[in-house]
Copies of this chain bind each other. A is one copy, B any other.
């Protein structure tokens, strides 16, 4: 990795890169705790001054992610407590010129809101009084965007539709879309405010196609260093690639010299609404759940022993001669070394939208996977899961999207400018 590649998105692009002793991984995981915080008391400076009896903002509110960075924010940013995913479709008659103007307005709005300032036009005041709250806004382009804007020749091959999987139960109305927006923040009103501001800036150029609301653990709610849990109660994300891995950038980001040129430093996001069939899952004993996953539920350690980060012994057999980690265990099948090295950065939110007719929660995972090439990451892993994952009977893929997320915008530039003004 070069120094430039280690610049975390919590630091302005113009800051000197961190020294070798302070890795990007460490910055990413300790930003909140160590007070690596920008903005602080002046974060909401775009509004009137705070009252004299103001109490200090904690890092939860003061933490600020930067908009003008090499890779868009919201990819390696630590998980936020609240998230919105939304797809917009361009209105009929909206072409490249109007799309460029929309991305310019959206980039301006995202940059302002991430700094804790109001939007440029008719701010609703919903986020007033709040700090930036680690807001990130991430923009992507779907397959259908390119035909609508006459840019088919610029459409990356990597955006070709995902193959069908036998476990798919996809709702087309909640899938795909011309434009994709990912919003994350540690305050739900800040996240709501951002989505509404972007919708208003869309004006008549684009309409909401679908929207999903999600959540993660609130910073400070746990003292455990363990990876986050999902709504099955499982530790989820242990084997995620880490920015400190030597091949992290290569796996997750399109290189600066990559194709197409407008995707330099970008990434591809696979979005899946994965419903968890919680009644069925919770009926299993903890022992059976652990056989399905291949890891201990309490601490995420492999069934072959150690702690969460201990390597799994794939060959170990028990006293009865059977493999300790079953062949169809989820954690075995998803291992990069079982998938030709395929690796993606999973950065999900949980969702919980009510309950279905049987009273079972309509809940699960808003799965978001980041990779330089979906055909070498999500697709082969999902193909393998589709054939033999013990977990597959407890989940259902209900919606799907694949989006090209260009690199971060430089100062004065907007996201997607290199595509729209090429």
Contacts and interface: CB of A to CB of B under 8 A. Distances in A.
A199 interface: yes
Chain A interface extent, by class: 35 or more
B55 A223 contact: yes
Contact of A359 (B126, B208, B223, B299): B208
A219 interface: yes
A189 B217 contact: yes
Interface string A334-354: 000000000000000010111
B221 A190 contact: yes
Given A188-B81, A299-B51, A359-B207, A57 B222 contact: yes
A123 B69 CA distance: 43
A125 interface: yes
Interface of A: 33, 41, 47-48, 50-51, 53-61, 81-82, 122, 124-126, 128-131, 133, 186-190, 192, 196, 199-200, 207-208, 211, 213, 215-226, 229, 231-234, 278, 282, 297-299, 307, 350, 352-355, 359, 361, 363
B297 A218 contact: no
Nearest to A349: B188
B298 A222 contact: no
3 A-B pairs with the lowest CB-CB distances in the bound complex, closest first: A125-B233, A58-B220, A60-B220
Contacts of A225: 51, 53-55
B355 A200 contact: no
Given A60-B60, A192-B231, A282 B221 contact: no
A55 B222 CA distance: 8
Nearest to A40: B223
A126 B199 contact: no
B233 A128 contact: yes
A222 to B, nearest CB: 5
Contacts of A217: 130, 187-189
Contacts of A55: 33, 223, 225
A231 B128 CA distance: 11
A123 to B, nearest CB: 8
- Which one of A192, A216, A221 has the highest number of Cβ atoms from chain B below 10 Å of its Cβ? A221
A211 B362 CA distance: 11
A302 to B, nearest CB: 16
A145 to B, nearest CB: 19
A57 B359 CA distance: 34
A36 to B, nearest CB: 15
Interface centre among A41, A128, A131 (most CB of B within 10 A): A128
Nearest to A308: B51
Contact of A50 (B50, B124, B224, B361): B224
A9 B64 CA distance: 34
Given A61-B221, A122-B282, A124-B278, 18 more contacts: A51-B299, A58-B220, A61-B218, A61-B223, A81-B187, A125-B229, A125-B234, A125-B297, A129-B223, A133-B218, A187-B217, A188-B218, A189-B229, A189-B231, A190-B221, A196-B361, A213-B353, A218-B218
A60 B219 contact: yes
A221 B350 contact: no
Contacts of A361: 192, 196, 199
A288 to B, nearest CB: 13
Given A54-B224, A58-B220, A350 B229 contact: no
A223 B57 CA distance: 5
Contacts of A352: 188, 192, 213
